[in-house]
Copies of this chain bind each other. A is one copy, B any other.
Amino acid sequence: MTSKEKMVLAALDLLREAGLGSAGINGVVGRSGAPKGSLYHHFPGGKTELITAALRTAEARVGDGLRRAFDRPAPLGDKVRALFRATGRAMEANKFAKGCPVAAVTLDLDEASEALRQVCGAIFDGWRDAIADGLEEVAAGDRRQVADLILATLEGAMILARARSKKDPLLGAGATLAGVLEARMLPRRRPVPRRRR
């Protein structure tokens, strides 16, 4: 691993653990073991450039995971339940000490961080689209909205899971969301007489 890669991964870890405030230059230098001078060499744009690189790494990893979760021949409800269960297992493996770095940065933005806000917004858009692409069961015009609902629920449930230090919020929200989506979506394919709406 190059020292540049080490710094990016150190920043990503710090963002996931304790947000933007923890991923300053000194924190990243300390975590990665890279010399401070090389940080400015690799990231002449300083903290914003380094944090952006860390967020882009998360974007690719999580995006791949979402595409794998949704781009497979399984019922929508099963995909949703599996995604929330896998997220719960991953958080449990980290002792609930790591969250979503994009959510953390979004909540830690100050007036000086408009560039980072735009990066976060674009990453969430991409993740929504990665989910939407696998929602064949949903009417085409509704896919982005349903994908956004799944993404919002996942992000929120990760926060509840971390605050409660258990995966139940992810399992519960995943199962409940899967259940209500199945009930809503399946009738679209097999119309039921006298359904209200």
Residues in A lying within 8 Å of B, measured CB to CB: 17-22, 97, 99-100, 102-104, 106-111, 117, 120-121, 123-125, 142, 145-146, 148-149, 151-157, 159-160, 162-165, 169, 172-173, 175-177, 179-184, 186-187, 190, 192-197
Q: Say whether B18 contacts A109, CB under 8 Å.
A: yes
Additional pairs, 6, CB under 8 Å, beyond known A152-B153, A182-B196: A18-B110, A19-B104, A148-B169, A149-B176, A153-B153, A180-B183
Q: Say whether A149 contacts B155, CB under 8 Å.
A: no
Q: How far is the CA of A99 from the CA of B124 in the complex (A)?
A: 16
Q: How far is the CA of A115 from the CA of B91 in the complex (A)?
A: 20
Neighbouring B residues of A180 by C-beta, 8 Å: 149, 177, 180-181, 183-184
Query: Contacts A153-B149, A156-B152 hold; do A163 and B104 have CB atoms under 8 A apart?
Result: no
Neighbouring B residues of A111 by C-beta, 8 Å: 97
Smallest beta-carbon distance A154→chain B, Å: 7
Q: How far is the CA of A89 from the CA of B172 in the complex (A)?
A: 29
Neighbouring B residues of A194 by C-beta, 8 Å: 192
Closest to A175 in B: B145
Q: How far is the CA of A100 from the CA of B17 in the complex (A)?
A: 18
A152 interface neighbour in B17, B99, B157, Cβ under 8 Å: B157
Q: Say whether A192 contacts B195, CB under 8 Å.
A: yes
Query: Contacts A145-B172, A157-B152, A193-B192 hold; do A163 and B18 have CB atoms under 8 A apart?
Result: no
Neighbouring B residues of A146 by C-beta, 8 Å: 176
Neighbouring B residues of A17 by C-beta, 8 Å: 109-110
Q: Say whether A190 contacts B196, CB under 8 Å.
A: yes
Q: Say whether A148 contacts B160, CB under 8 Å.
A: yes
